[in-house]
Structure 1
Amino acid sequence: MKYMEIEGLVERDLGYRRIQCTGRGSYVISLPKEWVLNLGLEKGSQIAFRVLEDSSLLLTPRSILEGRRKAEERSLRRYCLVVSAKDDPKSICRKIISLYVISAELIRVRFREGYSSKFRLPIKNLVKNMLLGSEIIEETPEGMTIQILINHPVFPVEKAIRRMAILALSADRDSIIALKDMDEELIESVIDSCSDVNRLNLYVLRQLKYYLERNLYKELGFKTPKEFLGYRIVANNIKSIADNAVNIARNVKNLKRLIEGQVLFLKEVLDEEVYSQILEFNNFAHQLFEDSMKALFKRNYNLADSIISKIEGSIGIENDLTGLISSKRLDPNISSIMRLILDNSRRIMEYSRDIAEVTLNRSIEEVVIPEAR
């Protein structure tokens, strides 16, 4: 019997065994008797089967698998954060966010010497507004306990990313409409949508890390672990769209205050020609982004390739719009917002290209047959 040292463990070579075929077309192979007896297995014991990337088969008794998971939960998913009076509330919140992202299930915040007044409200707002599926389940003068209740299969990563994209594009569109209508409620809704996108982004990060650490890429529909990075890029790009939309909305809000405070006097807020053409360019950018997301989820190489071609052919349109803005005698405040909207639309197209390239990389081997060696 041969022995090999692998990752600090002794792996034994048990030789070859023949596959038997039953009368009903099932295939059967016997387990090594010594292995069964050593593990205390008997008739009816359950064994988990897992196909590895090289097509080899890994067999693990259920008792070992569940014991491993329980040990992992005890050692990795429960954390205690000790807070002292000299700590910065923002820094403590960032630590809680990081624990959330690395799949913490229970976070105990303990206030040293009972000092807690400046920390409680920021932590409560963080849990409420940023940490999807989290609740404060216990609160005492000495501390707070945060539990993450959401289960990964209930809200899969693809669904979360789709929701992020819808919210981000909606926020971007609303920020442009807000410039025309000067609608305060619409401006605030853009900011709220950005908060929702940020919340979902943290959740997507948490999910991706959870599945990556456990090598469960196939459960997400991935063909290789490399695809985790692609989805991280996608989520980050969507978050950037929402952040840029908030930047536009805040500029519009400041403009509205200048007009209402009679600090700025405008005969007309918008030049209709400039606004309509920028809105059309923005619509084009949105369509490219939606198509890039469709190509990503469907692993459509040809659609992703066509998106990149369209983006490369649109450079002239942006240059024409820049020239149009410069040719008009617009108020500098209006002109700067118009340029900001134009720049944001261009960024959306760049994000579309990034996502299309992710699709090309993850699906190239489905359209090009590898050469046999």
Structure 2
Amino acid sequence: MVNNEEMRKIQFTGKSSYIVSLPKQWIIEMGLKQGDQVAVVRQGISALQIVPLKHHNKPAGAEDATIEIKQDDEGSVIIRKLISLYLLGFSIMNVKPKLGRLKPSQRNAVKDAVKGMLMGTEIIADSTEGITIQVLINLFELSVDGALKRMLIIAKSMQNDALLALVEANYDLAREVINSDDEVDRFSFYIIRQLKIAIQNEHLLKEMGIESPHHCLGYRLIVKNIERVGDHATAIAKDLLEFKKPIRKSILEPIQEMNSFSLSVLDEACLSLFKRDFSQAERTVEKT
């Protein structure tokens, strides 16, 4: 038991009520007295949070937020604002015009963001007066490790396809690689959102399989590095489309060797993470 834990017995009273006594010292510190109300908030699957009503805020991930759009706001501005709200953990996001109505281009930007960038979101109301977006996926539907594995698969596939496009001078495949970059970003945003929500609550953190808050920083760095794999693949594909010339075989062979080596090291590094295998992590580092 940790230092700030106290054990309490569950008692049964009446016909259907279970009660648990609260620590006296906590009651004094909170300035509570008999008859005061407290909010009981479910945190994940196995934990309850008790908050005095005067200190009660909505639980993480349950708030809603509104952004006001000006008539001259470009789609990119709106998308950045939406991504910010999504990463902050808001579950309902409202987009409303500051004056007048939303322009078709602005509404399309919101729809593109929902479809291509914000995982687990749906538009639940849509008109010229405003758009409401709701996050429907819950914290436990797709774990951080699960999302990380899927993100890794996509990023590796992009890198292999980028090299294949380079070898074959396949411009259609190069364009497909570029289009896949948004999918990597979707998983990146999703994982960062989950980490931001979970880091605020120790019980949620543990139920998500993360042992301590400082591990969230490690996950954030891992996500960033996997995201860079996708970015490099995209850069290769864009360069191919720009040059529009076949690459000499003498140049291709060492590039292919480096690609195979780097992806094998990435595989081993991620496997050591998922297995929590320190020895394998050390062996992977030594290979580089």
**CA distance, structure 2, for counterparts of residue 63 and residue 42 of structure 1:** 23
Counterpart in the other structure of 2:75: 89
Q: Which position in structure 1 is the counterpart of 2:152?
A: 165
Q: Which of 66, 70, 95 is residue 80 of structure 1 equivalent to?
A: 66
The question of whether the paired residues in 2 share the 8 Å contact of 1:100 and 1:131 is answered with yes
Deviations along 1:50-81, one digit per CA (max 9) or x if unpaired, are: xxxxxxxxxxx996235869951599611111
Look up the match of 1:65.
Answer: 41
2:248 corresponds to 1:271: yes
Letter in 2 for 1:85: Q
Give the distance between the partners of 2:61 and 2:234, measured in 1 at CA.
Answer: 40
1:135 counterpart = 2:122:
yes
Q: Which residue matches 2:220?
A: 232
Q: Distance between the aligned counterparts of 1:213 and 1:280, measured in 2?
A: 44
Corresponding residue for residue 250 of structure 1:
238
Give the match for residue 304 of structure 1. 281
Give 1:201 deviation, angstroms.
0.3
The C-alpha deviation readout for 1:313-341, integer Å capped at 9, x for no partner, is xxxxxxxxxxxxxxxxxxxxxxxxxxxxx
Structure 1 runs of 4+ off > 4 angstroms?
28-31, 40-43, 66-71, 73-76
Shifted more, 98-107 versus 86-95: the winner is 86-95
Tell me the distance in 2 between the aligned counterparts of 1:226 and 1:74: 18
Pairing partner for 1:287 from 264, 284, 288: 264
Question: Structure 1's 72 and 29: CA in aligned 2 closer, same or farther, altered over 3 A?
Answer: closer
Out of 190, 193, 207, the position equivalent to 1:206 is 193
TM-score normalised according to structure 2 size? 0.80
Separation in structure 2 between the aligned mates of residue 30 and residue 152 of structure 1, nearest angstrom:
30
AA at the equivalent of 2:149: R
Give the structure with the higher percent helix. Answer: 1
User: TM-score, normalized by length of structure 1?
Assistant: 0.62
In structure 1, the residue corresponding to 2:199 is in which secondary structure?
helix
Residue 192 of structure 1: how far off its partner (Å):
2.2
Give the conservation status (yes or no) of the 8 Å contact 2:60–2:89: no
Q: 1:214 deviation in Å?
A: 1.5
Amino acid corresponding to residue 45 of structure 1 in structure 2: Y
The match for 1:217 among 205, 226, 230 is 205
Identity %: 30
Match of 1:52 in 2: none
2:131 match: secondary structure: strand
Q: Which residue of 2 aligns with 1:186?
A: 173
In 1, the alpha carbon distance for the partners of 2:8 and 2:109 equals 59
**1:163 positional shift:** 0.7
- Do the aligned partners of residues 214 and 41 (structure 1) sit closer, same or farther apart at CA in structure 2, a change above 3 Å counting? farther
Q: Which of 140, 146, 164 in structure 2 is aligned with 1:153? A: 140
Q: C-alpha separation between the residues in 2 aligned to 1:248 and 1:139? A: 38
Match of 1:99 in 2: 85
Kindly report the root-mean-square deviation, in angstroms, between the aligned alpha carbons of the 2 structures: 3.0
For the residues of structure 2 that align with 1:119 and 1:29, how far apart are their CA atoms? 55
SS at match of 1:65: strand
Q: Which runs of 5+ in 1 are unaligned?
A: 1-15, 17-27, 49-60, 260-268, 312-373
Report the secondary structure of 2:99's partner residue. helix
Give, in whole Å, the separation in 2 of the partners of 1:241 and 1:81. Answer: 33
Query: Which residue identity lines up with residue 175 of structure 1 in the other structure?
Result: A
The structure showing larger relative contact order (alpha-carbon pairs under 8 Å, at least 6 residues apart) is 2
CA shift digits 1:208-234 (9 cap, x unpaired): 111101123212222222111000000
Q: Which amino acid aligns with 1:140?
A: S
The residue matched to 2:67 in structure 1 has which SS? strand
Q: 2:94 aligns with which of 92, 108, 114?
A: 108
Tell me, what secondary structure is at the counterpart of 2:178?
Answer: helix
Aligned counterpart, 2:27 = none
The CA deviation string for residues 30-67 of structure 1, in whole angstroms up to 9 with x for no partner, is 57xxxx8xxx998632669xxxxxxxxxxxx9962358
Query: Structure 2 counterpart of 1:96, which letter?
Result: L
Distance 1:64 1:246, change over 3 A: same
Letter in 2 for 1:223: E
Structure 2 unaligned regions, length at least 5: 1-5, 22-36, 43-49
Select the structure of larger CA radius of gyration. 1
Q: Counterpart of 1:45? A: 18
